[in-house]
Amino acid sequence: MQHKILYLLLSLLPWSSALAQNNQIDTTGSAAVLQVLSNQVAAWNKGDINNFMRTYWNSPDLVFVSGTTVTKGWEPTLARYKRVYDSRAKMGTLQFTNLKVSALAGDSATVLGNWALTRANDHPNGEFILKFRKINDQWFIVRDQTKQY
């Protein structure tokens, strides 16, 4: 009986290693995802919503969730950003903190973090969960779920 259990455990060992590897994003991938977010912050802080949106998957399947509002598609998401942040003053200065990158597979990752805007009269902030996919060797946000406190 002990031999059967030992045999079973040994036969599962290669699978456990493969599963562990699938749940790890390599440091290059993690750095690339964080660079996308750095590019996003830089574009936002220049007042450049178009370049900010280059970090999102340009697809009708992009999903952006803010509070109870769900926006589907790249074009509607761009239009929403331009409508809500129609002036440089409303955009303020963006900062991301507490970023945690986790892999779902070799070509997808999630990022949890906090966001904050510094504006003349207020300081809105909240948290987000971003789902990234690597498409044609580039990382893109394919789902953005953002909450304001």
1 within a domain of the structure (yes/no): no
pLDDT value for 27: 64
Does the structure show a pLDDT above 90 at 58? yes
For the segment 110-132, what is each residue's pLDDT rounded down to a tens digit? 999 999 999 999 999 999 999 99
Specify the CATH number for the domain of residue 84. 3.10.450.50
* C-alpha–C-alpha distance, residues 142 and 83, integer Å: 21
* C-alpha–C-alpha distance, residues 143 and 137, integer Å: 18
13 within a domain of the structure (yes/no): no
pTM equals: 0.81
72 within a domain of the structure (yes/no): yes
2 within a domain of the structure (yes/no): no
Q: Tell me the average pLDDT across 12-31.
A: 52
pLDDT value for 147: 97
Contact 55, 40 (CB under 8 A): yes
* C-alpha–C-alpha distance, residues 49 and 29, integer Å: 25
17 within a domain of the structure (yes/no): no
18 within a domain of the structure (yes/no): no
pLDDT value for 118: 98
| Residue 66 CA: distances (Å) to CA of 32, 44, 86 | 25, 18, 17
User: What is the number of domains present in the chain?
Assistant: 1
Residue whose C-alpha is closest to residue 131's, from 7, 19, 25, 11: 25
Q: Tell me the average pLDDT across 26-50.
A: 92
State how far Cα 142 lies from the chain centre: 8
94 within a domain of the structure (yes/no): yes
Beta bridge partners, 94, equal 117
15 within a domain of the structure (yes/no): no
Confidence of residue 12 (pLDDT cuts 50, 70, 90): very low
**Alpha helix (H) residue ranges in 49-123:** 49-52, 74-84, 88-91
Residue whose C-alpha is closest to residue 56's, from 147, 148, 133, 136: 133
Could you tell me the residue range of the domain that residue 27 belongs to? 23-148
Question: Is 65 strand, coil or helix?
Answer: strand
